Structure formats: structure tokens, C-alpha cells
Amino acid sequence: MSVPAAPSAARTEEFSRVPTDTPAVPGPVPRFLPWLLVVGGVLGLVSAFTLTVERIELLMDPSYTPSCSINPVLSCGSVMTTPQAAFFGFPNPLLGIGAFAVVVTTGVALLAGARFPRWWWVGLTVGSALGVVFVHYLIVQSLYRIGALCPYCMVVWVVTIPIFWYSLLATLDALGGGARALHARIAGYHAVPVVLWFLVIAGLILQRFWTYWSSLL
């Protein structure tokens, strides 16, 4: 009986090129996507955890001044005690602790060489999209209802937007077909939407509190 021949080097190379469900975003995105998830997730996680601790301190001592209450505009204490700070009946930062833990885990796994199926990327994108919607609700409330900004909350705003955007790009690539073609057209300008997004939010903050900012000049 003959022994089956070992796969040739050419055959092995052919199999190594078989595409997987893991997004392979063109350009610079694959180099920094895992790091974006890790760094952004850690910043969001630390901010959410700190806000939770500050909220507990405030519950135990109503006269407590949170560390992020800096001036009349940058005042976590003014935000923490509002109904918007517990939209679902419990402190909003608890949502962030769970969500950012998933983001950090995903980034670390990618750095370790893990490959995720399409459904994981779709789930990450949907979850981060819901986070973006909630963040923008809180932005509107902070600017036009509460009239104060929470610095730790703003860190969450800053990291949630790019996490959503680049997760969306990765998902488009993972879905293949027309979605991948759309991704290929967007990827060359991947940073532009995020920069414009931040500029709009910064402009709204500047305009809303211009009286206070100008008094510091």
C-alpha cells in the first residue's frame, strides 16, 4: 500500500491564501484597529469605572465634590445627579463597564492573532452603533438641558465614535460582496468622517458655552 504524499509547498501556500471571515481592511486600518479597540476600550473602561466610584461617593456623602467637577461648565457633579445619568434606572457608567470590557477583549484577542467570524463583527458594530446613539442623546442633554459637561463622560464620547466607525469598516469588509466594495471606496478617506464628527461636536460645545469660555480670555 502506498503512503499518501505530503502536501507540496505550493499546495500549502494555496491553502494559506484561503480568505477567512476576519476583516482585512486595506490601507493603515488593520495596523491600528486592534490598538484602537484596546486603547479606546481601556480609556472608556477606566472612565466608566471612575464615574461609578464617584457616583457611589456622592450617594454616601451628598456634599462630596467629584474629582471631575472643575468649574461651572466642566462639572461631573451637576451631571451625575440628573435623571439622564441613570437613563435605564441605574447609573449609565455600568453599561460602559460591560461594553468597553468586550471592546478591550476583542482588541487583545486580535493582537494575539485571533480570527473572529462575521457575526462577531456585526454584533460589535451594532453594539457600538447603539452606544453612539446613546452618546449623542447624552451630548444633547448635556449641552441643552443640563447645561454642564462631565469630563469623564466626554472621554467616553471621544472613544465611542472611532470605535463604532472602524468597527463598521471592518464589518463591511467581512461581509464581502457589495459591502466590501463600499468599504474599499471609503477606506481611502477613513479618517475624514471621524475628524469632521469631532469638529462638529467641538463647535457645538464652543458655541453653547461661549460666554463662559470668552470670560476666561
CATH of the domain at 159: 1.20.1440.130
Q: Which domain holds residue 194?
A: 27-209
Assess if residue 217 is contained within a domain.
Answer: no
End-to-end CA distance of the chain: 90
Contact 66, 76 (CB under 8 A): yes
Assess if residue 51 is contained within a domain.
Answer: yes
Number of domains in the chain: 1
Assess if residue 18 is contained within a domain.
Answer: no
Assess if residue 54 is contained within a domain.
Answer: yes
Assess if residue 19 is contained within a domain.
Answer: no
Residues of the chain with pLDDT under 50: 2-3, 6, 8-27
pLDDT at 31: 75
Backbone φ and ψ for 90, nearest 5 degrees, come out as -140, 160
Which of 27, 160, 176 has its CA nearest to residue 92?
Answer: 160
Rounded Cα distance, 161 and 70, in Å:
25
Assess if residue 10 is contained within a domain.
Answer: no
Mean pLDDT for all residues in the chain: 86
Beta bridge partners of 74: 149
Assess if residue 119 is contained within a domain.
Answer: yes
Please name the amino acid found at residue 138: L
Please name the amino acid found at residue 122: V
pLDDT at 170: 87
Assess if residue 5 is contained within a domain.
Answer: no
